Amino acid sequence: MTHPGEQFYPEGVHWDDTIVQGTLPDLLSKAAADFGARAALEFRDRPISYTELEAMAESAAAAFLRADCSKGSSVALFLGNTPDHPVNFFGALKAGARVAHLSPLDGEIALSHKVRDSGARVLVTSNLAALLPTALKFLEKGLIDRLVVCEDDHWGKVGTPQAAIPADPRIVTFKTFVDGATKPAQWPVVTADDVALLQYTGGTTGLPKGAMLTHGNLTSAVSIYDVWGKPARAARGNVIERVICVLPLFHIYALTVVLLSSLRRGNLISLHQRFDVEAVMHDIEVKRATYFPGVPTMWIAIAALPDLDKRDFSSLSLIGSGGAPLPVEVANFFERKVGKKLKSGWGMTETCSPGTGHPPAGPEKPGSIGLMLPGIELDVVSLDDPTKVLPPGEVGEIRIKGPNVTKGYWNKPKESAESFADGRFLTGDIGYRDADGYFFLVDRKKDMIISGGFNVYPQMIEQAIYTHPGVHEVIVIGIPDQYRGEAAKAFVKLKPDATSFSIDDLRAFLTGKVGKHELPAALEFVDELPRTPVGKLSRHELRQQQKPSQSTQQSATGVRS
């Protein structure tokens, strides 16, 4: 027993179990060979079989090759959750190119930077009104040479607003793009070491950086989840799962946990263009979905359903939360009301998602992100010296090593080198490991508040505030404080029928729940809190919004830590 926490692994799972590496085109080809006519996707009630998906991806691949998008080139995907994403994702990869994901919810500045940085001269988008006008700006700026436009109505008409496709020789519909493209006698050779994806980080400090994720990184991530979940799948009888996908496919969480893992196992992906709580409940109650991975805000929305007690969750055999720390109170509430355990693992873009997970049996550790998964090594190092490993119980920065970890950032050798210490990636997450091998996060390094010389971690304060009966959602950030240097400020969205409270009321409520130096010095009520493209609450965006506010703000004055 050489790895902390391995004693709690599912029966038959070991830390050193074989983690398989390969390429993503081979993953799809094997799935098509294994599962054939079985439905891989369902979108707008239309099933798409594994055979059909591979055929469409190969048609796209042939078209990319004809457009000189092969080894050494990047293809940018500016797409939402429709089958156009996997078709073009696998198509570009089979042609030998690498994919650069663009978030449809990003601003023009960040998007332009990503297109320019990735070197993509071909961009694939949709004629949706929310996408095409922005994509056209890339043409106007000379950032791309060719714009391929998928027509949303191809998947069935639902009244989604669409934009007219301009007559321009540089613009082609996807149908025309693939028309007449013939498959080569031999596809380009793709290896596990080739970069498959430039997945851009959130850019909380400066412009976004493109994590270079290889075919080996991404297939390792799928294999890690396969090894970890094999006993649970066997216990369920290896049934075909119906997996709800409302998480955006351009994000690493949905890409690995939903798309790639589901295709690898022959599951059905129930694809949604956006998160709508009633649409998700229809999938669960009527279509009998078996697996729903979400982010905390989605679970908060479901927990807030007025008739939650009457809803039927019996079809769900597996639920999970990721993308952001799950408030303990939300998990407890959901278990009390629905009778299902909602646990949150940890991972990041640079790890292709896997990092930690919770074993089905083992100690109950509220607030823990779980144990390091098979093949992954985690440790905690000093904030002052990233080579100094700390013992259990001491708080520091978490480092990670594994076959799923990025080799660095695209076009950024200096930042890449600085992101590693002793061959381990510095995550920027602050936390600790307990004596049983369970890891706990206390915050992101960049979110840490230094108040009167003390380190204050916003997430810890948020966890405590979530226990207040009137709080629906909360973000805590640091604000300038003349006495302490920095102090914590809470931004609160109240539950529909809740009444507001004063900063003094909040501090009294939190006394004993957090340290004296952690008590918020200011409180502001808001109608909505900002979110990232994947729906998790965004401290970074909230900081950017901090201008004269018209919402109610209260401050504590003269209070010393």
Domain boundaries, the chain: 6-19+215-444, 47-190, 448-555
Q: What is the helix (H) or strand (E) element at residue 314, kind and residue range?
A: none
pLDDT digits (tens, 9 = 90+) for 185-231: 999 999 999 999 999 986 444 578 999 999 999 999 999 999 999 99
Spatial neighbors of 67 by CB under 8 A, at least 6 apart, are 122, 146, 177
Domain 47-190 has CATH 3.40.50.980: yes
pLDDT digits (tens, 9 = 90+) for 477-530: 999 887 778 899 999 999 999 999 999 999 999 998 888 888 999 999 999 999
Per DSSP, the residues of 327-371 read PHHHHHHHHHHH-----B-B--GGGTS-SEE--SSS---TTEEEE
Structure-block tokens of residue 344: 């949150």
Taking the C-alpha atoms of residue 153 and residue 151, their distance in angstroms, rounded to an integer, is: 6
Taking the C-alpha atoms of residue 555 and residue 522, their distance in angstroms, rounded to an integer, is: 4
Instruction: Determine the pLDDT at residue 107.
Output: 78
Checking if the pLDDT of 550 tops 80, the result is: no
pLDDT digits (tens, 9 = 90+) for 124-135: 999 999 999 999
Q: What is the helix (H) or strand (E) element at residue 270, kind and residue range?
A: strand 268-271
Burial (Cβ within 10 Å: 0-12, 13-18, ≥19) of residue 103: buried
Instruction: Determine the pLDDT at residue 122.
Output: 98
Instruction: Determine the pLDDT at residue 410.
Output: 97
Answer CATH for 448-555 from 3.30.300.30, 3.40.50.970, 3.10.450.50, 3.40.50.1000: 3.30.300.30
State the average pLDDT over residues 292-298. Answer: 89
Considering only the top CATH level, what class is 6-19+215-444?
alpha beta
> For residues 38 and 159, which has the higher predicted lDDT (pLDDT)?
38
Structure-block tokens of residue 78: 């500016």
Instruction: Determine the pLDDT at residue 540.
Output: 79
Name beta bridge partners: 41: 48, 269
How does the average pLDDT of the chain come out, rounded?
91
- Rounded to the nearest 10°, the torsion over CA 375, 257, 84, 148 is -50
Checking if the pLDDT of 453 tops 80, the result is: no
Q: What is the phi-psi region of residue 559: left when phi exceeds 0, alpha when psi lies from -120 to 50, beta otherwise?
A: beta
> For residues 435 and 553, which has the higher predicted lDDT (pLDDT)?
435
Q: What Å distances lie between residue 165 and 129, 130, 150, CA to CA?
A: 10, 13, 10
Instruction: Determine the pLDDT at residue 1.
Output: 53
Checking if the pLDDT of 561 tops 70, the result is: no
Taking the C-alpha atoms of residue 47 and residue 59, their distance in angstroms, rounded to an integer, is: 19
In the chain, count of helices (H) and strands (E)? 16, 26
Highest mean pLDDT among 235-239, 371-375, 486-490: 371-375
> For residues 545 and 47, which has the higher predicted lDDT (pLDDT)?
47
Highest mean pLDDT among 75-84, 196-205, 479-488, 547-556: 75-84
**pLDDT band for position 268 (50/70/90)?**
very high
The fraction of the chain above a pLDDT of 90, given in percent, is 75
Domains 6-19+215-444 and 47-190 share a fold: yes
Structure-block tokens of residue 452: 């009167």
Q: Are the CB atoms for 454 and 487 separated by under 8 Å?
A: no
Q: What is the helix (H) or strand (E) element at residue 245, kind and residue range?
A: strand 242-245
Spatial neighbors of 551 by CB under 8 A, at least 6 apart, are 524, 525, 526, 527
Instruction: Determine the pLDDT at residue 323.
Output: 75
Query: HEC profile for 23-83?
Result: CHHHHHHHHHHHHCCCEEEEECCEEEEHHHHHHHHHHHHHHHHHCCCCCCCEEEECCCCCC
Instruction: Determine the pLDDT at residue 559.
Output: 37
Spatial neighbors of 287 by CB under 8 A, at least 6 apart, are 242, 270
Identify the three-state secondary structure at position 560: coil
Question: Would the pTM count as exceeding 0.85?
Answer: yes
State the average pLDDT over residues 416-425. Answer: 96
Checking if the pLDDT of 105 tops 80, the result is: no
pLDDT digits (tens, 9 = 90+) for 460-489: 899 889 999 999 999 999 998 877 788 999
Spatial neighbors of 37 by CB under 8 A, at least 6 apart, are 49, 50, 51
